[in-house]
Amino acid sequence: MVGSTAHGTAIEGQDDRDEMGVFIEPAENVCGLKSYDHYIYRDQPDGVRSQPGDLDLTLYSLRKFCRLAARGNPTVILLLWLPSHICKTTAGTELIAMRDAFISKESGERFLGYLTTQKMRLTGERTRTVNRPELVAKYGYDTKFAMHALRLGFEGIELMTHGRLTLPVAEPDLTTLRAVRSGRVSFSDALNLIERAEARLRGLVEACTRTADIDRINGFLVRAHLRHWETGGAASGARGLSPTPTRHRSSSGKTLAARPLAR
């Protein structure tokens, strides 16, 4: 379970259900010419906002997940620090155990880049994105969008300072995020909080010299795939999953039968 629920910023009855999973591809997808490494399922059609309680599910192949996480993608790397998972196999446990291998200066740069982009959209320096006109009408700005920009700052600072992410977000930052989201913070004060977090994170990123441990990540990827293929998935710990695959639509319209290794 990711999204606002994982961060601790969800408001009961107002949020959809965001889930993320990782799966090992069959050999023909890795060694052959066809590859489907990213699958999406949504209760709502594309272009339609999710409603409270709707499921938004994203599945990544292990290779794509590790590639994005090694580049510091804030959305993807979140999965490695969740306090619990819907299901977790042996391979998923091993992936989470090596999460420190993904932390790098580039991770901080990605958090900073996402934060800055969202701040510029809030201020109109970039094309203003208003996905929640009801919040703008009520509070004068998209409070959920602003909250996510500030959250990126708080989490990026923690990752660069302590080499970890705390989920849900630790206090007192969580109270601040919830105050912004609920409209109890004016736009000018919210923007000030975002800019202060941005400045602090930028300083930490500039001082960071850490790089992702690509050799360690590659070694794990090779071992995990070979073990999975050689045993027909038996070594992946599939006992902890439903005996029949969960079926989901891919972004290309394909149907995937996947047993996620971490979700």
The average pLDDT across 82-111 equals 96
For strand 255-258 and strand 55-61, is the pairing parallel, antiparallel, or unpaired?
unpaired
Asked if residue 237 and residue 198 are part of one domain, the reply reads no
Task: Output 88 or 42, whichever has higher pLDDT.
Answer: 88
Asked if residue 108 and residue 93 are part of one domain, the reply reads no
pLDDT tens digits, one per residue of 53-87: 788 899 999 999 999 999 999 999 999 999 999 99
What is the rounded distance in angstroms from the CA atom of residue 224 to the CA atom of residue 91?
A: 6
What is the rounded distance in angstroms from the CA atom of residue 63 to the CA atom of residue 66?
A: 5
Does 248 have pLDDT greater than 70?
no
230-to-157, 224, 235 alpha-carbon distances in Å: 42, 10, 9
Predicted structure pTM score: 0.84
pLDDT tens digits, one per residue of 211-246: 999 999 999 999 999 999 998 764 443 332 222 333
The pLDDT value recorded for residue 112 is 98
Asked if residue 173 and residue 132 are part of one domain, the reply reads yes
Q: What is the domain extent for residue 17?
A: 1-100+228-263
Asked if residue 93 and residue 128 are part of one domain, the reply reads no
Question: Number of folded domains in the chain?
Answer: 2
The pLDDT value recorded for residue 19 is 94
Judge whether 221 lies within some domain.
Answer: no
